Chain A
């Protein structure tokens, strides 16, 4: 396979929260068109890594490269027009604004005119018909699953080259989680490059091409998702070694 420049490259990334070292030298790559997943238990550092990539948290050491450029010091709000969008942990929809306004905010940085943005809004409503029904509803009054769909749609409104999904299954009922992962599959079929962080290892591994396992701030396993699905070490990472 010819070696292509990865869309995203993270090298030896370190990050501190006060006295704790949350990321202890993390390296990964995401190529265009891939779905890569990072799985791990709670407190492993998954969301911290996502925040670092989006520029919400300053890093102590290491590099983040996107489209071949070093963005380690780039302010968070400039990474969005550069091509990185995120559906953050806990969804963080703008609760006091309508679904439609949330989507418009996703397109905030775009300069290509109201018509193009409106067309994209329509496209998102096609992907997420439930949101079209609720376009004027206050985002904060929607169910968890609907908010998750909104968060993903909102991120897609910025026409990102890389979509970061931070624990989309968090706090959602099992049936809704299934729906969300179906949407992720759909996006994959459309060719969206996705970096997915998840606690629900089985479903994440089912939809991803490659996977990394994060434990207390560093990767302990990595490889093709299909291989990791059969690997008993993954279960051990969550539930501890069997007696």
Chain B
């Protein structure tokens, strides 16, 4: 609570100082600079979510600025709308266009995504400069009706206060949004998409949402500029503007305060250099390179690192509650069907890649409450099967029923929310987030806080956040990671990172937990601890299916073992039965002629 009060205190102070500027000077030039800082902040605040938090680098946001600008121009000049209504509508329209740009952009990855956003920006630029009838190109639209108080149009000072108010509101909303489950989800999508899906975060929805948020704020920025100038023309809409916005965000850095830092520095730089446009743009290019080399986390990130080194007292450290009760798995909703059928029932699962068939007509029955192991030599198809069960890979044939529902073709995040959790062979932690936050992402689907509630951040959303924090701590406590709660996930030693992934998977309240080589890279002591942990997980009522090569672990912890080789199930049974099965032995060690003949004759033993 203390840090909250501190924050609002500082906010009020800064706001008061800025509000005082129009009272101290009536120099239009300075007032305009303050106005521009505010506008750039507004545009950057949303773009920050898209670029820094969600990791989608867009180079076409001048197009969304244009939507807001021309919306407000056309609505007030052609259709006589009330300027306030037009202003609101500009934001909404820009948000809709955010969906338009998101749809193709998200179909592609990497450089193609950058290209699609550039293309979008250029198309908008061409449309507004060449479709003269509607947009009046370079000539522009005059007489845009600005915001008014009653009949009086906003003066420079009014614009400063209005923009200031908007900035304060947006700051507060983003601060709440990004500190809560949405912020974590955005970052999860950025760091490890597959892992985000596995805990129930819909990657697609969050990317679209990030686009819409950034479009909305850029649109509002466009509307503000247009209404303040009472004029807009196509010269405003250029690729350089998109680069400028991106630069503000990248330079400012990965934090709620990034847009503020970026907006202040770059707006001042911009107006300082405005007399020499060549130097201006040159500087942006150089700054972009500089920021990428020297400040990959932007100014905010650099300041944070410096503070951590030299003045750690300045950084807020959250107070975490002690003495929480031991974690109990909340009972999941009753299963649609019970009885002799398994928790998960797969029949005839088949998947081929070109000439390779990693999964060849596999039948699988996972009984609730047991620990099952899936073993087989390298290349047998175990991870493919796990990926099929968790929805990452869609099988070509076969049925899979989980908790009474078919999951073939269902998206991974939905399967996760149905109660199927997993860990990964190659660790996929959200390595830049804290240990506690990693587990909180696991709780994502169970935190009752919608989008608008999260923006406001009080009441229900706040209570849900605190409950999530407590539960996350309880889970960490169970796995003896409590004292590392505020450490960065990537800084943990390897064995603890594996345990953290397990904690995150547990946080999804799974009925069935899939573990992909949980003992990989662990030393013998850690492996022993893992055996204990798996037993404890079973005692919590969670069914486990694990892939492992570590035979001692498999034999010690499993109730049931399934053996795959060349994509087919070749044996199953208790650990002892499987261990002495000659087909299994042959599969692992390879045969010399004697044991091969034995196996071919059905493995007869004396």
Contacts and interface: CB of A to CB of B under 8 A. Distances in A.
B89 to A, nearest CB: 50
A240 B590 contact: no
Interface in A12-44: 18-20, 22, 41-43
A216 B523 contact: yes
Contacts of A242: 579-580
A170 B379 contact: yes
Given A43-B549, A199-B377, A20 B521 contact: yes
Given A201-B589, A203-B592, A240-B554, A42 B497 contact: no
A238 B566 contact: no
B590 A177 contact: yes
B590 A201 contact: yes
A235 interface: yes
B493 interface: yes
Contact of B355 (A143, A177, A201): A143
Contacts of B492: 19
Contacts of B592: 202-203, 206
A200 B589 contact: yes
Contacts of A148: none
Contacts, number: 74
Interface in B338-380: 355-356, 377-379
A187 B49 CA distance: 60
Interface string A130-153: 000000000000010000000000
A241 interface: yes
A43 B589 contact: no
Contacts of B595: 202
A2 interface: no
A92 to B, nearest CB: 15
Contacts of B579: 239-240, 242-243
* Most chain A CB neighbours (cut-off 10 Å) among B493, B550, B554, B588: B588
Contact of B497 (A19, A173, A198, A238): A19
Contacts of B570: none
A174 B596 contact: yes
Interface size on A, as a range, is: 20 to 34
A75 interface: no
Interface in B565-605: 566, 575-576, 579-580, 584-585, 588-592, 595-596
Contacts of B590: 169, 174, 177, 198-204
* Most chain A CB neighbours (cut-off 10 Å) among B378, B521, B590: B590
B589 A202 contact: yes
A129 interface: no
Nearest to A200: B590
Nearest to A243: B576
A234 B588 CA distance: 12
Interface in B245-260: none
Contacts of A202: 589-592, 595
A206 B507 CA distance: 49
A169 B387 CA distance: 25
A171 interface: yes
A41 B589 CA distance: 9
A182 B231 CA distance: 82
Given A170-B378, A173-B566, A41 B591 contact: no
A43 B585 contact: no
Contact of B520 (A43, A174, A199, A206): A43
Nearest to A198: B590
* Most chain B CB neighbours (cut-off 10 Å) among A18, A170, A202, A206: A202
Contact of A20 (B377, B494, B591): B494
Contacts of A174: 590-591, 596
Nearest to A24: B523
Interface string A160-179: 00000001011101100100
A43 B591 contact: no
Interface in A36-74: 41-43
Interface string B545-576: 00001111011000000000010000000011
A143 B552 CA distance: 35
B555 A238 contact: no
Contacts of A243: 555, 575-576, 579
Contacts of A239: 551, 579, 584-585, 588
Contacts of A241: 552
Contacts of A170: 378-379
A89 to B, nearest CB: 10
B517 interface: yes
A56 B378 CA distance: 22
B469 to A, nearest CB: 26
A46 B244 CA distance: 50
B386 to A, nearest CB: 15
A115 B515 CA distance: 55
A185 B550 CA distance: 31
Contacts of B580: 242
B378 A240 contact: no
A242 B584 CA distance: 14
A143 B356 CA distance: 10
Interface string B509-520: 000000001001
Contacts of B355: 143
A114 B492 CA distance: 54
5 contacts: A19-B493, A171-B356, A202-B592, A242-B580, A243-B555
Given A22-B521, A42-B378, A203-B592, 12 more contacts: A18-B494, A20-B494, A20-B521, A41-B549, A43-B521, A167-B378, A174-B591, A198-B590, A202-B589, A239-B579, A239-B584, A240-B551
Interface of A: 18-20, 22, 41-43, 143, 167, 169-171, 173-174, 177, 198-204, 206, 216, 234-235, 238-243
Interface of B: 355-356, 377-379, 492-494, 497, 517, 520-521, 523, 549-552, 554-555, 566, 575-576, 579-580, 584-585, 588-592, 595-596
- 4 shortest A-B CB distances, which residue pairs? A240-B551, A200-B590, A19-B494, A20-B521
